[in-house]
Structure 1
Amino acid sequence: MPPWLAFLCNLLALVALGWFIAVWALCLLGWQVAYKLFANPYPRSPLSSAQTEEPAPSVSILRPLAGLDCNLYTNLCSSFEQHYPVDLFEVILGVRSEHDQALSVARQVVAQYPHIHSHIVVGDVEAGVNPKINNLVRPYALAKHDLVWVVDSQVWLSPHALGRAVDALLAKPPVPKPQCIYRTPHGSRTGLVHHVPLGVLPANTWGSHIERAFLSTSHAKMYLAINAVGIDSCVMGKSNMYRKSDLDRVPDAFFAYNADSASDEQHMIGSRAFDGEQDADDPFVLEMTTKKEENDVVRTKSRALARFGIYLAEDNMLALSLWRKPLELGHRIAPGDVAHVAVGDIQTVMEYAKRRMRWIRVRRHMVPEATYLEPFTESLVAGLCGWFGIYSWLLHPIIGPLHGGLHCGAFFAFYLANLAAWYWIDLGVLSSLRCGAPLPDAERKYFLGAWCMRELLAFPIWAWAMLGSTVTWRGKRYRILTNARAAHVPSDVHTEYGIDD
């Protein structure tokens, strides 16, 4: 081997070894954070009782609804059963239309809790491409309080979640880890609190169990680790709490919105929130029936939120807007509570793969560096990197080159040990998120197989996502643009490389 090639191989092996160590450090950090925040019962917030020295802040809980989601009734009831002074929070349920199946469930829940201040708002307002933002426009305008807590319809949270989330929002931003490398907290105060998702209630299909395994192990582990390191924002929008007054301060420059950009990107979807501002004090009725009245709420009371309707992944972009300049507000993961996400019926493995592919394609233009590195954080690829580095820098210099069966045996021993350790860490994360509670017997028999299939599918799904830019969401096809926005895809246009989305 020429000297230059040997030098290059050794350099690549050193990089691979360093990467393997860094990935394992993140895995262990995610496990440690999960254990610290969730493995043991967390103290009840003093705000959960009316007997507090300082008055508790008032909160508006917003729950966007569209369709009959798994466990919907129980999920909605959890918002009404919060241990928090009843005169200091309200619940606003936003239903897509009067024909939506969720409406009857919403009415049943509201009727069951007459002592809780609540509203049902029927009818979306088109603010952009994102259906969740379209659903939230009117509830957001109706919310009386500065603190808003947006919780997806698939999510159930414990009765103490509201008090502990408010505590976290009022606390100072966390000190980034590892603490041996001193870094100051991001920002002077906390601007957003979010809950780590935990997959629950999967149907008896492999697609559902793989999704549950993904949410509860690999995703949760890296989600906790990345937020603990605190280099940049990393937020999933299943359960987020923030201040309306902070969202008002996000400048339009953050969106880099150009009303004439449709000429450059054909079919790009804009938002009426940027069509021009009106006097925010202009009166308007809550039961809006005309287009003019819809425009009014998008451009006035809900404009701060409606602007995020230009993105499919509004949760990440909203969190980024609070994290980055000029606001530079910290984020906190709510301790003691997880967002129990009802996985429901994902009928096929292909359906699971399409869900994961869709969000990888969206993330590629929001956080491109992290998305391109993503496969190297997975167990199978990281294990290959680890073997390359360890063999080149440890085994080969100490015991010399390995040949034939001895080399294969050493490789498989290392690779299987790495996978076993990875699985053990993921089980630890799952156990912590469940506060030590074991999986139900009906679900336990699926878990190992679902975990293995998740790990095997991770790289193929990522590669599939990299080969295209179109996604299908709620029956509509979109093309993800380089500015993280979306454009309509006409029905007669074929996807890239003949690979459907």
Structure 2
Amino acid sequence: MSSHLNSSLSGFAICLLVFWCGTWCVHLLAIFYGKLKLHKKSVSSCPNEIPLPGVSILKPLMGTDPNLEQNLETFFIMDYPVYELLFCIEDSIDPAIDIVQNLMTKYPQVEASLYTGGSKVGVNPKINNMVPGYAAAKYELFMISDSGIRMKSDTLLDMVNNMTEKYALVHQMPFTCDREGFAATFEKIFFGTVQSRIYLSADLLGINCHTGMSCLLRKCVIDELGGLKIFGCYLAEDFFIAKAIKDKGWKMRISNQPAMQNSGICNINSFQERLIRWAKLRVAMVPTTILLEPLSECMLLGALASWSAGLLFSWDPLVFYLVHVLTWCLSDWILLSIVQNGAFPFHKLEYVIGWLLREISGPYLFLHALWNSEITWRRRTYKLHWGGIAYELPYTKKPIS
């Protein structure tokens, strides 16, 4: 009985170390692919080449934040020959309307339209908001861009250059602009390490990792699928749009430039709530996430690998664990440096504190997501079914105590 137990434990330990090695392979893939792919210079077409295609840009908006106007203005001054801006706002009294109209007056040479009211086609408020703008889009390529995105002058050109013959979706890897405060540092560390590691390695391996905050699509392909309204039954419409495109035989990839999020509202609590919401969506769409995601966390995986190394090789578990954590922290610093592509707006000590907070809080936030499957998003509450289909829960007013 004892030998059978020892054999089983050894087999389990071997599996854990194999998984640990695989995780480090993901680290290396992300670092090398990031170095190869990110921040390449975009080049305009030569006069003798085929003209660049027109692009219809859908901007779903809801409410305002301190950076909204400057973020939207970057879309009016892009270095791209032919595009239209389609602003979609659900509420006709939304304060974002004034900002949009002021910018349209300031840049009359830019083709821009405003659509209000939306169209109820499902539970997803973003899709409902964009349907009128999508119906009016006139170019062969269209872009979906969230309100918090800030564009560089050549970002659209870079995305179009990546939309070659066999591709129907080009998306940007999420990152953040330089902003002040520890919450901004925490966000930058998350998107430049955990998120970038998954995003880069998944793109290299052809795995669906699409997030819809900034993406370029072929309109004919989406029309063939039934239009944007077909995805209104999902909250994670981005995942299912990418899945449908791949099922049709088209390819997708990331652009050379990350998506620069520049929300003017930045605090730890709201960002962690955002992470919990994303975790709930991942669990509903890909149930294997329940097991694989916690095991890929630095602290938990390091503890399990340390135990395995001690059992199999009689190595000191504490030393193994400390080396594991230190190496993970350093590799994340390297990856973050590649994604940042310039000087950091914070000191190394701030990085270490932010990195430790992220790694320690990660498993807790994931467990929190498993505890309650309801999702609160933009003052609405939703319930998820397995497979990602969602339905909205009726609003119930809380009793006054």
Q: TM-score when scaled to structure 2?
A: 0.93
Partners in 1 of 2:348 and 2:63 — Cα distance? Answer: 29
Aligned ranges for residues 372-383 of structure 1 at < 5 Å?
372-383=291-302
Shift of 1:210: 2.8
Tell me whether 1:249 sits opposite 2:169 in the alignment: no
Tell me: CA distance 1:115–1:52, structure 2 relative to 1, closer, same or farther (3 Å). Answer: farther
Shift of 1:25: 0.4
Check the 8 A contact 2:68/2:264 in 1, yes or no: no
Bigger Rg, structure 1 or 2: 1
2:214 corresponds to: 239
Distance in 2 separating the partners of 1:64 and 1:447: 33
Q: Does 1:475 align with 2:379?
A: yes
Residue 127 of structure 1 is matched in structure 2 by: 121
The percent of aligned pairs where both chains have the same amino acid is 27
Aligned position for 1:456: 360
Q: CA deviation at 1:225?
A: 0.8
Q: Structure 1 residues 352, 164: closer, same or farther in 2, change over 3 A?
A: closer
Q: Which residue does 1:489 correspond to in 2?
A: 393
The residue type paired with residue 195 of structure 1 is Q
Given candidates 107, 113, 133, the residue that maps to 2:107 is 113
1:337-386 deviation per Cα after TM superposition (whole angstroms, max 9, x unaligned): 1110124434443x333221112111112122234311111111221232
Structure-to-structure mapping, 1:221-232, within 5 angstroms: 221-230=197-206, 232=207
Q: 1:91 to 1:17 in 2, by over 3 A?
A: same
Correspondent of 1:342 among 262, 268, 277: 262
User: Aligned equivalents of 1:53 and 1:475: distance in 2?
Assistant: 49
Distance in 2 separating the partners of 1:210 and 1:462: 17
Between the aligned partners of 2:66 and 2:351, the Cα distance in structure 1 is 20
- What letter corresponds to residue 231 of structure 2 in structure 1? F
Contact 1:69 1:153 in 2 (8 A): no
**Equivalent-residue separation in structure 1 for 2:236 and 2:360 (angstroms):** 26
Residue 91 in structure 1 maps to residue 85 in structure 2: yes
**Structure 2 residue 54 is matched with structure 1 residue 58:** yes
Structure 1 pair 161–346 and aligned structure 2 pair: CA distance change class (3 A): closer
What CA deviation, in whole Å up to 9, does each residue of 1:423-465 have, x standing for no partner?
A: 1122222211221x11224x76643222211110111111121
- Which amino acid in 1 is paired with 2:175? L
Report the Cα distance in structure 1 between the residues aligned to 2:176 and 2:160, rounded to whole angstroms: 24
Alignment match of 1:42 (pick from 36, 40, 43): 40
1:412–1:345 distance in 2 versus 1, CA, 3 Å: farther
1:413-452 to 2 correspondence within 5 Å? 413-435=319-341, 437-441=342-346, 446-452=350-356
Asked if the contact 1:70/1:154 (under 8 Å) is kept, the reply is no
CA RMSD in angstroms comes to: 2.2
Task: Supply the AA of the counterpart residue of 1:462.
Answer: F
Is 1:200 matched up with 2:177?
yes
Q: CA deviation at 1:52?
A: 4.3
**Partner in structure 2 of residue 361 of structure 1:** 280
TM-aligned CA distance change 1:490 to 1:107, over 3 Å:
closer
CA distance in 2, matches of 1:165, 1:371: 33
Contact 2:233 2:391 in 1 (8 A): no
The one of 305, 318, 332 aligned to 2:228:
305
Deviations 1:70-126 (A, max 9, x none): 5222221222222222xx211111122231121121122222222222212222222
Aligned equivalents of 1:488 and 1:318: distance in 2?
A: 20
The DSSP-based 3-state class of the residue aligned with 1:103 is helix
Does the 8 Å CA contact 1:202/1:345 hold for their aligned counterparts? no
Q: Partners of 1:90 and 1:482 in 2: how far apart?
A: 38
What stretches of structure 2 of length at least 5 have no aligned partner? none
The one of 133, 138, 148 aligned to 1:139: 133
Go from structure 1 to structure 2 and tell me whether the alpha carbon gap of 1:346 and 1:163 turns closer, same or farther (over 3 Å shift): closer
- Within 2, Cα distance between the matches of 1:377 and 1:466? 16
Task: Give the secondary-structure state (helix, strand or coil) at the position aligned to 2:285.
Answer: coil
CA distance in 2, matches of 1:33, 1:212: 19
Residues matched between the structures, number:
398
Give the SS at the match of 2:18: helix
Q: Give the Cα–Cα distance (whole angstroms) in 1 for the partners of residues 99 and 302 of structure 2.
A: 48
8 A Cα contact 2:140 2:218, kept in partner: yes
Task: Give the distance between the partners of 1:348 and 1:44, measured in 2 at CA.
Answer: 35
- In 1, the alpha carbon distance for the partners of 2:40 and 2:268 equals 37
SS in 1 for 2:227: helix
